[in-house]
Amino acid sequence: MVIPKHILGTFDEVLTSLRKDLLMMAGLAERSLDRALKGLLQRDDDLCANAIADDEEIDQLEKQIDKDGFEILLRFQPVASDLRRVVSAIKLSPNIERVGDQATNIAKRARKLNRHPPLPEVEWIVPMQAYAMSMFKDSINAYVRENVELANSVCSRDKQLDDMNRDANKKLTERMMEDKDQLRGYFNLLLVSRALERVGDHATNIAEDAVYTAAAEDIRHKGSLIAST
Amino acid sequence: METPEQTVMERLEQGTAPPPEAELPPAHTFEVKNMSIWYDKKRAIDNVTMDIATKHVTAIIGPSGCGKSTFLRALNRMHELTPKTRLEGTVLLQGQDLYSSNIDPAIVRRRVGMVFQKSNPFPTMTIGENVIIGLRLNGVRDRKFLNERLEKSLRMAALWDEVKDDLHKPGTSLSGGQQQRLCIARTLAVEPEVILMDEPCSALDPIATAKIEELIYELKTNYTIVTVTHNMQQAGRISDFTAFFYMGRLIEFGATTKIFTNPTEKQTEDYITGRFG
């Protein structure tokens, strides 16, 4: 999508810089999530440590995006699509930061699991991992490309991930009752499943902001509005 | 009535205010239909149709030379003061055709007052005389009435407290911002229905600008206001509706919030985001 340049070149520069920081942050969060899950599935503590280390940089970028976003609002008083892009960047970054937090949570749980013999039930996480990762990647792509269709598809996929989490919880709880020696292990897997479900929630939030950025349409909480009327 | 001491539960028990009744669309002070204006052979306004809401602020924005001032001046026939002008179309003020042959332009200008970019108090007159000159020229001689209207106009222009002890001093002795409010008081003194403002703050500092903006906000409870501005942020702050003009044509007209968050036309988007040219 080609956006004409502003007459004020410095405005283009700061908007580009904000966008680059956001993409860098999303890239780091994606890498951190990928490392944490590989650390879990491949029982690799080094990958888990790398995932946890990425979080610091993600946190710093969140602060940088806030600072730059506020400075753009102050210095350039953007309107219309520029305003939506800047406000969305400020709103998006906490969601990306929390995806990074979930990656850290998964990495920490994986390290605990790696101290004990492998659990075959870890395979239950694989489809959820692929699903949550694709939602996150698509949500960022939808924002970057201002693709409303892709963003809407992310939002509609969240329920499927919720169902997958519920199934995993049910099965893991059953396993906990059957095999009390592995209680801690199953509990850690349950928390991994929960973290992936939260990644889906953050991806949905990002996708909702992507729709607002592209089409100035607020699609949040539409279900609750229908339910209350 | 809520008090700060109330607990959250007390506030909840008290209940929320009933939802406001559905807002009716505002009535229209002006109905402009197919307006075109020529300066000699040059077409300055090209087939503009728009309605201006009563007791609301309408901002007109657009690049220099787009016709916004011409449009504004046509709303009280001021543009006719420029030689070789010609207007086609109709301008209805409260349903009455402003350009009908039996309408006196002087009466139109009393009903539709105007404030200009540069404050222009009459240099030989005192502050007080500047405010009531319009009434005097209309033959009002009753001193008590004039004094009452003088105070009322200066109060409405948020200037009374600053000048009440200096009414005999020259109007030009005031600061730029005060002079502009004096001109607004002069406009208000003849009790117009509409106030047109042509970049009223462009020569003022931020404090004087804020005072004028605050004044515009207060005045709209009683008056229909149409203002031309180059300042996008000002248009966003003070207006209810915004019209974007380009090369004499009305490109987009709508609620200010809509125009400044999600304009429909690409030309509007390019202009307000600074991507023009």
Q: Which tens digits make up the pLDDT trace of B153-202?
A: 999 999 999 999 999 999 999 999 999 999 999 999 999 999 999 999 98
Closest chain B residue to the Cα of A5, Cα to Cα? B275
The residue among A53, A49, A26, A25 whose CA lies nearest residue A39 is A49
- Is the pLDDT confidence value at B24 over 90? no
CB A103 within 8 A of CB A36: yes
DSSP result, chain A? ---PPPSSHHHHHHHHHHHHHHHHHHHHHHHHHHHHHHHHHTT-HHHHHHHHHHHHHHHHHHHHHHHHHHHHHHHH---HHHHHHHHHHHHHHHHHHHHHHHHHHHHHHHHHHHTS---GGGGGHHHHHHHHHHHHHHHHHHHHHT-HHHHHHHHHHHHHHHHHHHHHHHHHHHHHHH-GGGHHHHHHHHHHHHHHHHHHHHHHHHHHHHHHHHH----TTHHHHHHH-
Helix (H) or strand (E) holding B73: helix B68-74
Closest chain A residue to the Cα of B233, Cα to Cα? A77
Class for the domain spanning B27-272:
alpha beta
B269 touches chain A (CB under 8 A): yes
Percentage of chain B exceeding pLDDT 70: 92
Task: Catalogue all structural domains in chain A, each as residue range(s) with its CATH number.
Answer: 9-228 (1.20.58.220)
Closest chain A residue to the Cα of B236, Cα to Cα? A79
DSSP result, A198-217? HHHHHHHHHHHHHHHHHH--
Q: Which of A79, A211, A229 to probe the B interface (max B CBs under 10 A)?
A: A79
- Residues of chain A in contact with residue B273, where contact means CB-CB under 8 angstroms, are 6, 78-82
B64 touches chain A (CB under 8 A): no
Average pLDDT of B138-160? 94
Read off the pLDDT of residues B30-42 as tens digits, 9 standing for 90 and up: 999 999 999 999 9
What is residue A220's predicted lDDT score, i.e. its pLDDT?
A: 92
Give the model's confidence band at A207: pLDDT under 50 very low, under 70 low, under 90 confident, else very high.
very high
Higher pLDDT, A202 or B275: A202
A/B interface, count of CB pairs below 8 Å: 39
Domain chopping of chain B, boundaries = 27-272
What is residue B22's predicted lDDT score, i.e. its pLDDT?
A: 58
Nearest to A80 among B233, B269, B276 (CB): B269
- Is the pLDDT confidence value at B16 over 70? no
Give the model's confidence band at B230: pLDDT under 50 very low, under 70 low, under 90 confident, else very high.
very high
Q: In this complex, do A80 and B233 lie within 8 Å of one another by their Cβ atoms? A: no
Chain A residues whose C-beta sits inside 8 Å of any chain B C-beta: 4-8, 11, 77-84, 216
- Residues of chain A in contact with residue B274, where contact means CB-CB under 8 angstroms, are 6-8, 11
Q: In this complex, do B273 and A82 lie within 8 Å of one another by their Cβ atoms? A: yes
Give the model's confidence band at A139: pLDDT under 50 very low, under 70 low, under 90 confident, else very high.
very high
- Is the pLDDT confidence value at B66 over 80? yes
Predicted model pTM: 0.84
